């Protein structure tokens, strides 16, 4: 009997009562901590130790899908996780419910890092702002932003104390501009350190931006004459100083609405440009120089006056008059001259009124051959006196003549020396000279070795289309006096040769073909040669018949 009671008590002890089961069952979740990337999914397993659990599940606003289950567990798929959250996993057992929580941390790597440089062009000594922000990143407490100038760290900022409400991370630095900042590269680096949450280290970088520094505070200076002549090309220039970087200054130049084509140069902190202008209209106009550098543009204007002043017109009624005839000369202003000029004709005693022509009437003389006539016009423009001159040469035609100074009647030759007959006649057109000796034409172009046979009288005739003139030239050939040294002879020879060269040069200078401006009486060279030969024959016959 005792043994039977002992077995009953043992069975009763082995059968659990409802209260004991409630106290013993547990609820757990796996994983117990989760780190999920923005927009991704998570598989969660909820389980219990209750042998016969009742209602169970997960409480969350996320989209969930039960993947599988067992008698004491359930597995769920949570989708599109976009923020941090805490979910509850619960089970009931024998009428009692227990739960546990799972903290999910959402992270978003700094994939987009934006750098803003304001302004991109900064004047020297002015402040500029460098800003970096990451539009989407989480968690912010794990983020660090660093501003870089080249490889040098400019500013660093973390967000440990930033409120979870904000999803925007930003860092700003203000810097004063210096010339050595020009063309410096700026960038931003973002680091998201998830190692405290069991994750890794994520990096993000912005695009590099370049800062431009400039100095441009002074207005350009224009260099241009205050007076411009219409149709005449002039060089104008425009210059700026204390400009940086000078090589990047851009010049544009205008004469009224006409854009010029400047050529620019620079050196150190100065830049300049030059252009050729050619005004085609008279009157007041304006030259504009526009210089731009980065965001700054400077403009300077300068007035100019364009005038028209062609040379005056010199008219000679007959530029090749005969000696003894009247010559009428007129000096007048050009029709394009504005306003009318004041005229002055060289040699005229009359003073013409402004805009009225000047005139001169005189009788041509032989001495007037080669005379230069001058017509001067003066014009007052914007307080400046301008002068233009036109010149023309007069060619007086007259018969041949002999001057004793250029054609001596008595000439002495030294025996044994090479000599030339010295005679240069005057006349316009240039006369042809023929000398006859002993009934034969004497060669005037080739030096002759003087002998006693050359002693005698030479009949020389100068002829041009206006007439002829003759002259006897006596040549005496003398022997060398006794006692003359060889050195003296050498000096005489040198002197004689020099005189011969001068004589030949003077003679050649008065050949008919040398007068390039003899328009009215000019003849072709072949015709002149023929006439010269004809004149030579005629004069030789005349001299032979009349003995000059």
Q: What is the Cα–Cα distance from 95 to 54, expressed in whole angstroms?
A: 8
Give the pLDDT mean for 87-100: 91
At residue 482, the pLDDT reads 54
* Low-confidence winner among 14-18, 279-283, 416-420 (lowest mean pLDDT): 14-18
Kindly state whether residues 407 and 539 are assigned to the same domain: yes
At residue 465, the pLDDT reads 94
In the block, residue with structure tokens 């994939």: 111
Give the residue from 358, 393, 428 where a domain finishes.
393
Q: Looking at the domain assignment, is residue 381 inside a domain?
A: yes
Give the pLDDT mean for 398-407: 93
At residue 511, the pLDDT reads 37
At residue 463, the pLDDT reads 96
Kindly state whether residues 191 and 317 are assigned to the same domain: no
pLDDT tens digits, 9-60? 333 333 344 444 445 789 999 998 899 999 999 999 999 999 999 899 998 8
Kindly state whether residues 126 and 99 are assigned to the same domain: no
87: pLDDT strictly greater than 60: yes
138 pLDDT band, cuts 50/70/90, is confident
350 pLDDT band, cuts 50/70/90, is low
- The pair phi, psi for residue 492, each rounded to 5°, is -65, -40
Instruction: Quote the domain boundaries for residue 126.
Output: 114-215
Query: For the chain, how many structural domains are there in total?
Result: 5
345: pLDDT strictly greater than 90: no
Give the pLDDT mean for 133-150: 91
Q: What is the Cα–Cα distance from 392 to 395, expressed in whole angstroms?
A: 10
508: pLDDT strictly greater than 70: no
343: pLDDT strictly greater than 90: no
Q: Looking at the domain assignment, is residue 95 inside a domain?
A: yes
Q: What is the Cα–Cα distance from 491 to 541, expressed in whole angstroms?
A: 40
Q: How do the residues of the chain divide into helix, strand and coil, expressed in percent and rounded to 5? A: 15, 50, 35
Q: Looking at the domain assignment, is residue 234 inside a domain?
A: yes
Q: Looking at the domain assignment, is residue 388 inside a domain?
A: yes
Tell me if 469 sits within 8 A of 401, measured CB to CB: yes
Give the pLDDT mean for 149-166: 78
At residue 425, the pLDDT reads 94
Kindly state whether residues 203 and 248 are assigned to the same domain: no
Kindly state whether residues 475 and 538 are assigned to the same domain: yes
At residue 347, the pLDDT reads 73
**Token pair listed for 493:** 């020879």
Q: Looking at the domain assignment, is residue 18 inside a domain?
A: no
**Token pair listed for 291:** 């210089």
Give the residue from 261, 279, 307 where a domain finishes.
307
Kindly state whether residues 45 and 159 are assigned to the same domain: no
More confident residue, 24 or 221: 221
Kindly state whether residues 228 and 243 are assigned to the same domain: yes
Q: Looking at the domain assignment, is residue 203 inside a domain?
A: yes
**What number of H helices and E strands is found in the chain?**
4, 42
Kindly state whether residues 223 and 187 are assigned to the same domain: no
pLDDT tens digits, 191-214? 999 988 888 999 999 999 998 999
CATH of the domain at 336: 2.60.40.10
- The pair phi, psi for residue 221, each rounded to 5°, is -115, 130
For residues 332-363, one letter each, b for 16 or more C-beta atoms within 10 angstroms of the residue's C-beta and e for the rest, the string is bbbeebbeebbbbbbebeeebeeeebbbbeee
Kindly state whether residues 266 and 372 are assigned to the same domain: no
Kindly state whether residues 123 and 203 are assigned to the same domain: yes
519: pLDDT strictly greater than 80: no
Q: What is the Cα–Cα distance from 232 to 248, expressed in whole angstroms?
A: 32
Q: What angle do CA 43, 44, 49 make, to 5 degrees?
A: 150
Kindly state whether residues 245 and 325 are assigned to the same domain: no
**Token pair listed for 440:** 């034969």
Q: Name the DSSP class of 347.
A: T
Give the pLDDT mean for 164-183: 81
Q: Cβ neighbours of residue 231 under 8 Å, at least 6 residues apart?
A: 278, 279, 280, 308
338 pLDDT band, cuts 50/70/90, is low
424: pLDDT strictly greater than 70: yes
504 pLDDT band, cuts 50/70/90, is very low
At residue 341, the pLDDT reads 81
In the block, residue with structure tokens 């003899």: 518
Give the residue from 55, 87, 107 where a domain finishes.
107
At residue 499, the pLDDT reads 54
Q: Looking at the domain assignment, is residue 414 inside a domain?
A: yes
- DSSP H or E run through 504: helix 486-509
Q: Looking at the domain assignment, is residue 16 inside a domain?
A: no
* Low-confidence winner among 145-149, 215-219, 525-529, 539-543 (lowest mean pLDDT): 525-529
Kindly state whether residues 487 and 414 are assigned to the same domain: yes
Tell me if 158 sits within 8 A of 143, measured CB to CB: yes
Give the pLDDT mean for 151-165: 78
């Amino acid at each position: 009997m005792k043994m039977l009671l002992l077995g009953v008590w043992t069975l009763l002890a082995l059968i659990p009562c409802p209260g004991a089961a409630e106290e013993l069952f547990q609820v757990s979740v796996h994983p117990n901590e989760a780190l999920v990337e923005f927009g991704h999914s998570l598989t969660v397993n909820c389980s219990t130790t209750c042998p016969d659990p009742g209602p169970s599940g997960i409480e969350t606003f996320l989209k969930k899908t039960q993947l599988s289950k067992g008698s004491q567990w359930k597995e769920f798929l949570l989708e599109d996780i976009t923020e941090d959250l805490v979910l509850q996993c619960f089970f009931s057992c024998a009428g009692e419910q227990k739960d546990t929580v799972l903290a999910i941390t959402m992270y978003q790597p700094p994939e987009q890092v934006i750098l803003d440089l304001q302004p991109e062009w900064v004047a020297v000594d002015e402040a500029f702002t460098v800003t970096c922000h990451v539009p989407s990143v989480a968690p912010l407490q794990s983020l660090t932003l660093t501003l870089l100038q080249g490889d040098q760290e400019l500013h660093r900022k973390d967000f440990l104390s930033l409120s979870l409400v904000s999803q925007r991370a930003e860092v700003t630095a203000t810097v004063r501009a210096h010339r050595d900042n020009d063309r410096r590269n700026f960038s931003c680096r973002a680091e998201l350190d998830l190692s405290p949450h069991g994750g890794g280290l994520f990096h993000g970088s912005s695009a590099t931006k370049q800062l431009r520094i400039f100095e441009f505070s002074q207005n350009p200076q224009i260099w241009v004459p205050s007076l411009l002549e219409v149709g005449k090309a002039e060089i104008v220039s425009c210059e700026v100083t204390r400009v940086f970087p000078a090589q990047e200054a851009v010049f544009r130049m205008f004469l009224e609405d006409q854009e010029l084509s400047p050529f620019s140069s620079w050196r150190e902190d100065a830049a300049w440009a030059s252009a050729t202008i050619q005004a085609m209209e008279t009157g007041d106009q304006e030259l504009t120089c526009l210089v731009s550098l980065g965001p700054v543009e400077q403009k300077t204007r300068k007035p100019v006056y364009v005038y028209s002043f062609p040379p005056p017109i010199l008219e000679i009624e007959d530029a090749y008059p005969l000696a003894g005839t009247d010559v009428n000369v007129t000096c007048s202003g050009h029709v394009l001259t504005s306003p009318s000029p004041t005229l002055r004709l060289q040699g005229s005693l009359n003073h013409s009124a402004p805009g009225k022509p000047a005139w001169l009437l005189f009788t041509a003389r032989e001495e007037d051959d080669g005379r230069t006539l001058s017509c001067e016009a003066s014009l007052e423009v914007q307080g400046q006196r301008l002068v233009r001159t036109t010149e023309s040469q007069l060619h007086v035609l007259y018969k041949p003549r002999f001057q004793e100074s250029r054609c001596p009647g008595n000439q002495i030759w030294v025996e044994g020396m090479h000599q030339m007959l010295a005679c240069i006649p005057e006349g316009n057109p240039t006369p042809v000279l023929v000398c006859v000796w002993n009934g034969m034409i004497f060669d005037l172009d080739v030096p002759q070795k003087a002998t006693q046979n050359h002693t005698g009288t030479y009949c020389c005739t100068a002829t041009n289309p206006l007439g002829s003139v003759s002259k006897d030239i006596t040549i005496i050939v003398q022997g060398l006096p006794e006692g003359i040294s060889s050195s003296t002879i050498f000096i005489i020879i040198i002197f004689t040769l020099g005189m011969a060269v001068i004589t030949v040069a003077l003679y050649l200078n008065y050949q008919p073909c040398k007068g390039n401006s003899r328009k009215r009486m000019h003849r072709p060279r072949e015709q002149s040669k023929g006439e010269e030969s004809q004149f030579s024959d005629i004069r030789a016959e005349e001299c032979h018949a009349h003995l000059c």
